[in-house]
Amino acid sequence: MPISADSLAMQLRDKPLPLVRLAAVLWAKGKKDEAQAACLHALEVGADQPEVVMLARDLLARDVPKWHFAIVRDQVRNDAYEAALKRAVGPESHVMEIGTGSGILSMMAARAGAGRVTTFEMNPMVADAARRIIARNGHDDRITLVAKKSSDALVGEDVDGRADILVQEIISNDLLGEAVLPAIEDATKRLLKPGARMIPAVVAAQVALIDDEDAGHRRMDTVSGFDLSDFNHLGVPFYRMSSDRKGLSLRSEPVELMRFDLQSGGPFPSSRTTATLTANGGRVTGIVQWLKMDMDDKGDLIYENRPGAGVRSCWAVRIFPLDQPRDLAPGTTVRIGAQHDRNTIMIWCDGVDAAAATTATATATAVA
């Protein structure tokens, strides 16, 4: 009779290296929960064995987004969230968080004096780590971690009553990629008190013209004597860069492209919009988009990752290239269009004032 995975795992409980190898087999067969449990136990009993630690951590990290590590190192972001929480919470506050991550925002709420905090994390490995972090820092008496999506939670079963403050940081480089709009709509209907405070209160997509000095490296042209340009339409229509990347120069003043009043609770239907950017002169290779957050709608707690020297951010900026770079005289207008489908924002160039624009002689830009 074949030995079950559970039975084999029990036999290997005191043999961390064979156990972590079993975990790799379980993972390959799609049994992630069993694999993760085996890895965690292997780490406990084999903490002094480097091979065990390396193999177990490799498996455990596979379903954990790497941006968790960048987020907590963004001190400007951390300070903006904590300032907003300090303004909002009091001893009677019930704070709800969507997306626990490391637990830092929930612990900030508790440290600010919130009476209780409920936080949701759908990734089981992240939830397990956050639970241990919260206990290690002495806040498990006021923070309840629910290891599921907020949209699957029930008041009275997973949550002890509706909350009066919602804090979340499920905001992606394009604002919408982590399903923030549906999460806000659902929480407003089922999990929050009427008029609950949202942190952040408003998020907006800012855009400007940009020159990326390395834009030409993102395009297939002539290589080894062959014209490969027909391959360019297979590339994605935008690429990401760090906000402090050298070689990025804004070529216009920014314009607010889209704005989402999260404090309203929604609904947030898909939409289209247009905007006009006015060049301040020089080469333009594309349109850059970044995010701007008003933490509590008072106008003095703003987080923004506008591209520039020394602007360190856990969020990247997105660049939508023109078909080819252009030298634009000051005052040249560039019309852009945009749409969002509640999941992402897409941006395109609708036209340039041809009378004032000349094609650059530099290498053409491209899609990433």
214-to-148, 227, 241, 246, 368 alpha-carbon distances in Å? 42, 20, 11, 10, 11
Crossing angle of helices 50-61 and 16-28, in 10° steps, is 20
Residues 115 and 160: beta-carbon distance below 8 Å: no
Buried b (16+ CB within 10 A) or exposed e, 214-225: ebbebbbeeeee
Q: Look up the pTM and report it.
A: 0.89
- DSSP lists the bridge partners of residue 302 as 294
Contacts of residue 62, defined as CB under 8 A and 6 or more positions apart, other chains included, come to: 27
At 260, list the tokens.
């989402």
- DSSP lists the bridge partners of residue 352 as 334
Q: What is the pLDDT of residues 66-124, one digit of tens each?
A: 999 999 999 999 999 999 999 999 999 999 999 999 999 999 999 999 999 999 999 98
Predicted pLDDT of residue 43: 93
Q: What is the pLDDT of residues 233-248, one digit of tens each?
A: 898 899 999 999 999 9
Name the stretches of the chain with pLDDT < 70.
1-9, 354-368
Buried b (16+ CB within 10 A) or exposed e, 228-247: eeeebeeeeebbebbbebee
